[in-house]
Structure 1
Amino acid sequence: MNLISHLLGYVVDLLAALLGSVLLLRAWVYTLAIPTSDPIAKFCEVLTDWLVQPVVRSTGGRIGRWHWPALLCAFAVAILSSILSRLLFGVPMSLLGLFVSPFALLGRWATELVLWGTVIWAVLTWLRSPSPVIRTLGFLVEPFLRPIRRVIPPVKGVDLSPVFVFILCQLVLILITPLARGIV
């Protein structure tokens, strides 16, 4: 395996992870009914419209409660990434690995979105930044923080739920990353 194919493999993985994550974020933003005028919603739309709009048109514009076209595009990116990564890194292609890897990639991207969204939200709230993104980020990560807040109350006024979300996300990533790489 030469250096060029390894570098190309890492670039493909990075670009697929970024695109797949933004597609999943677009679906989550839609599900939570965040207005399209919101900066995060606009960001997702601008970056992914070229891929999502043809799927929306082919389905007759019907999306539903979940943004199925964005999820379908994320799944297609995961499949393509799985195949290209295996080819570029020289990983043998098993049928089970090719089947599991795209689903695990979607899980990994979603977990990383929750992890980084929570970290960025926690840091921005500590800094008391006046950014309008804080409110949207809080709205996006609240469904993951709320169950932990029910179990673990604030300690001396400090909300520890972001720390526990971070730890849980790390545990999920430890389990799912080998599957995302097709190691079954």
Structure 2
Amino acid sequence: MLIRILAFLLETAFFVLIAAALLRAWMNWLRVSMTGQPGSFVMALTDWLVKPLRRSLPKAWTKSRVDWASVLAAALMALVYATFVGLLFGVLGSVGEGGLDWTPGVFLMLPLIAVKMLLRVVLQTVFMLVLGYAILSWVQPGSSVYGLLARLTEPLLTPVRRVIPTIGGVDLSALVLLVVLQIAMMVLI
């Protein structure tokens, strides 16, 4: 029972950190101001890792439109998460007199766990953003939060809108994207 509680707490903490790093990269890609919310929150959560990475990356990487420091921070946090999960559930082996006893294939397992975590964070974060956008479009379309969510989700909804037309004045693109994201999460699990 204690291991399950620790695993839950570990997963929750790393989910928030990885999602914040990826959201930071996405907001920078879209040129969304980081001075308001959630930008200042995302920066406060990730500055401790993103700033040193940004200083250590080659200059060509930092001049790119992609915020490679934030993407790399998310990937590193996913690897750290995978290592903790491996230690917690014994994937890495056992600790003996000679230190940690690495089981065969551990170097394949850690990246797989990390990639699965990254994909899950991306899918669930996009799901939450699109769901929030869809709900606010019905109840409070004039709010500043709706405007921010619209900026964050428009690049994802535009391709869906090209395929799914508006029916009776109702835009179903968010609903279709939510269904696709849910299916992708089911496949990932």
- Is TM more than 0.5 here? yes
Which sections of structure 1, spanning at least 5 residues, go unmatched?
A: 178-184
Displacement, 1:50? 1.8
In the alignment, which residue of structure 1 is the partner of 2:19?
21
Q: Is the 8 A contact 2:18 2:77 kept in 1?
A: yes
5 Å matches for 1:1-184? 3-59=1-57, 62-91=62-91, 94=105, 95-128=107-140, 130-177=142-189
Q: Is the 8 A contact 2:130 2:178 kept in 1?
A: yes
Paired residue type of 1:31: W
Deviation string 1:2-55 (CA, Å, 9 cap, x unpaired) is x22221111001100111011000000001111223422222112211221121
Displacement, 1:128? 1.4
For 1:120 and 1:134, locate their aligned partners in 2 and report how far apart those are by CA, in whole Å: 8
Of structures 1 and 2, the one scoring higher in RCO (CA 8 A, sep 6+) is 1
Output the TM-score relative to the length of structure 1: 0.87
Which sections of structure 2, spanning at least 5 residues, go unmatched?
A: 93-102
Displacement, 1:160? 0.7
For 1:71 and 1:56, locate their aligned partners in 2 and report how far apart those are by CA, in whole Å: 11
C-alpha spacing 1:125/1:26, structure 2 compared with 1 (3 Å): same
Q: Is the 8 A contact 2:18 2:74 kept in 1?
A: yes
Q: Is the 8 A contact 1:20 1:109 kept in 2?
A: yes
Deviation string 1:76-104 (CA, Å, 9 cap, x unpaired) is 11011112112223456644322222122
Paired residue type of 2:166: P
For 2:58 and 2:165, locate their aligned partners in 1 and report how far apart those are by CA, in whole Å: 47
In the alignment, which residue of structure 2 is the partner of 1:182?
none
- Give the length in aligned residue pairs: 175
Q: Is the 8 A contact 1:56 1:63 kept in 2?
A: no
Q: Pick which of 165-174 and 129-138 moved more.
A: 129-138
C-alpha spacing 1:141/1:115, structure 2 compared with 1 (3 Å): same
Q: Is the 8 A contact 2:140 2:146 kept in 1?
A: no
Output the TM-score relative to the length of structure 2: 0.84
Paired residue type of 1:50: W
Q: Pick which of 17-26 and 93-102 moved more.
A: 93-102
Q: Pick which of 108-117 and 55-64 moved more.
A: 55-64
Deviation string 1:115-136 (CA, Å, 9 cap, x unpaired) is 1100011111111154312111
